[in-house]
A and B are shown apart, each in its own frame.
Chain A
Amino acid sequence: MKRSTLVLLIGILAIVIVAGCLLLLSTNSLRAASAVTPPARTPAQINLLTVFLTGLLTGGLTCLAVQGGLLATTIAQREEQKLEDRAKNNGNALPILFFLFSKLIAYTVLGLLLGWFGSLFQLSLTTQVLMQIAVAIFMLGTALNLLNIHPIFRYFAIQPPKFLTKVVRNQSKQKDFFAPVFLGAFTIFIPCGTTQAMMALAIGSGNPLLGAAILFAFVLGTSPIFFLLGYFATKLGDVLHERFMKLAAAILIFLALYSLDGALALAGSPLTFRTIFSKPQAVGRQEISSEPTLALTKGGYSPTSLTIKAGSLVTLHLINSNGQGCIQAFTIPRLGIQKVVPVGSSGIVRFTAPLKPGQVPFMCGMGMYRGIINVI
């Protein structure tokens, strides 16, 4: 087998193995992390996988155009200095691998910064709602731009200032072998649509480790395709490119609506996507309690409905056995109550039930895991 083919196969295998292991590891370390740091504001398990898949299926292609072009320039300049067959022996796999590893590290650090920046805006309900709406709008705008709906959506794509792009350009002119490494890191200044949406997600997570994990998962997802296509340096047909753009847009819209739905619930709106599309739950016969207990678990809150007497003084016991991420931020938007109960601990919320009978929703800090308090 030719040496270059061997390097290529090793490269692909390495990326797939590293991807699998690190994704598992990062999910587990997130569980530990969210126990000691301020509650992460994203259901970690769901989003990381979606993020990785977005990168895998669409991110690699949408970014390949110029980031790949940059890489191709450095490779071409390497070959100018050698005889063609010597270049073929070593193959182009190594510079691409260097490029991708460097990009991975740079983006993970960026995710750390973005998540930390997001966490500065603390748990005020209003801020959280605004943040989620902003993230949803940005993702929707990016998706609509990917679908070429209207030129106005082009403004959702952030173009880095000229002086930054000049630096990236100068790096690509170097015939140095380490140029790909610098290039990989500098690509954070020329992110494409899907990458920017992921950056928005990282900010919205409000947790540096989660932000880092999100961008890490995304870049990891883009790597296999980037590597394969970069290696063969072939341009994919226009039709396939169109299909990938549509898939990226669809995933972004899904993430945007999910974020928006949570924002609506947190804002105390009785109308959210879930209430419109799901059948109202039948309220079973329930014991009225003035001291109910609510368990915070991995899958949400249990039970999902509580019954209390109108106008009464209620002492709610919250026990967190293994509730991760936003579940730790127990919220009753209508009553303006938010109590953070870290995993493995318990807490108490005291309030006076509203005088009017009705339903008062409770939910996690991002509006995603929900339940109902029946006031009778």
Chain B
Amino acid sequence: MAFVWDSTTLTRLYQDGEIAFATTNKCIVDRIALSIVAGTDLYEVPDYTLDIRRVTWKGKPVDPMPGKLQQKIFDGRILTQTAERPDYYIFNNVQRGRIKFFPKPNVTIGAVTNDLYGAEIKNRVIVEFFRVPDSATYKIPMWFRRRLLKTYVLSRAFLMEGKGVNLKAAEYYESKFNDLSLTYAAEMRAHFERGRTLMLSDPASESYNVASPRLNPDKYWIGVDY
């Protein structure tokens, strides 16, 4: 039996659909350790990085640089500052796929690929980011994957010139893909964007509340003689 679309095309559309969903609804998290070289402030992150979620320097966070500081930072005099631990990073605004630290690190820290969620956090410079799926190891959640991607594949396959072209069907499945994306994204976020408050949600549990927000003493406190 002859098929209108070959399996290579359908596989490509399947992968494209997964990328389309994960790009809009960032849900696949990955980590790498950067190989830090003293005197170098610009580092490359993988090209499958969508957005950076967290950067830690031996367990302590490095903050994204506020926009109002960027002009001040790029003054030639200030760029010479170095430190053992940078305070800020800029992602993508310097060069695409590059992360720049400020102040410039003056230490060398090696990179590893294992234990980045555990024992190596205190030893490495780790970038946690949302990534593009590879349809092999990194995939969108399996419970809706086939159903969702089927609609994407059909919406694109019916658009292709040839025997199978059907604009009405393509429009139908595109609309369905959009609706299902919204539904499943909302359901997925309900599970992983906030705590459950099932066990401890009554006033008696207030003792477990974490402390109120406070300023980072390393950056904002100064000692006063008295």
Partners in one complex: no
